[in-house]
Amino acid sequence: MNEFPYTLDNKRYHTLNYFYKTKFNKKVFKVSLNAGFSCPNYKNGHGCIFCSHQSGDFAGNKEDDLTTQFHKIKTIMEQKWPDSYYIGYFQVASNTYAPKEILKEKYETILNIKNVIGLSIATRSDTIEEDVYDYLEELNKKTFLTIELGLQSIHESTLKRINRGHTLQNFETCVKELQKRKINVVVHIINGLPYETKEMMLETVKYLNNLNINGIKIHMLSILKDTPLEIMYQKEKFKILKEEEYIDIVCEQLSLLNPNIVIHRITGDPKKEDLIEPSWLLKKFQVLNNIDKEMQKRNYYQGCKIKKV
């Protein structure tokens, strides 16, 4: 019998599959969409230094309307998992960076589709206006709503280095505004950012642990073609984490995380044709399996290092 309660498949961390199945009593999938939003940090051809202009390489085709995007992806998923529920995932760019009326039209187009039980909206902490907070609060009462916020690191020196465009204080204020409205918050962080140490990466997780977020996505830094990060790497040759170093850091981060925090992702899957480094990221399932093995080897489970009071 598995000792860790929040999993259905012998993982030692709180899996998203477990969370969805216990909440909705059915298989749930996120359908990734490109609603054509932009990003306030993308100016004069530059944004965050790791960004290839737009996030969400695996989202729907922006040439299609949202309903068409949704059904194309849903049709593929149904071949493997029929009779599922769906969450519309507004993934590309900053999906609250528009007037409320435009947001409402796009969000509710997806909510009107059969078997859509929620929305997951990826955005930045500096793109939510007061009237949008109020609208999200209304939306949260009608559907299962999650706001995914990019943070990447808590360290101001790193945020400046990667040209993040907002401060930690701005992020924290946004999280508290969302929590005040009882909206689920999932936070994205990146391991391996230039010149960050292992301890700095662990500090980011400890900070989020104290912020009482609902979920987390842990990524490894991808150096992609035609990004400012590629130019920086070619010039400075800063250290890139090896696979075993990444696995070590993720295991330590998981051991420090409150077990109630849902793990939405613990590695990335960049497109092969876009990736400069690290090449081991292309072996996604190998990385996932090795994290499982290392957690077992260390006898770790999520939250095992949190001091009991």
The count of domains in the chain is 1
> Global pTM?
0.95
- Pairwise CA distance, residues 163 & 213, whole Å: 24
Find out whether 138 and 113 touch, Cβ atoms under 8 Å.
no
Among 40-49, 58-67, 84-93, 173-182, which stretch is predicted with the lowest mean pLDDT?
40-49
Q: In the prediction, which pLDDT does 189 show? A: 98
The range of the structural domain enclosing residue 135 comes to 16-298
* pLDDT at 1 exceeding the cut of 50: no
Identify the CA nearest to 203 among candidates 136, 240, 155, 168. 155
11 lies in some domain: no
Average pLDDT rounded to a whole number, residues 191-214: 97
* pLDDT at 108 exceeding the cut of 90: yes
91 lies in some domain: yes
Q: In the prediction, which pLDDT does 83 show? A: 86
241 lies in some domain: yes
309 lies in some domain: no
* pLDDT at 292 exceeding the cut of 90: yes
303 lies in some domain: no
Average pLDDT rounded to a whole number, residues 136-156: 97
- Percentage with pLDDT > 90 across the chain: 83
5 lies in some domain: no
305 lies in some domain: no
Q: In the prediction, which pLDDT does 231 show? A: 94
Q: What is the CATH number of the domain that holds 85?
A: 3.20.20.70
2 lies in some domain: no
Tell me the pLDDT of the chain averaged across its residues. Answer: 93
Q: In the prediction, which pLDDT does 251 show? A: 98
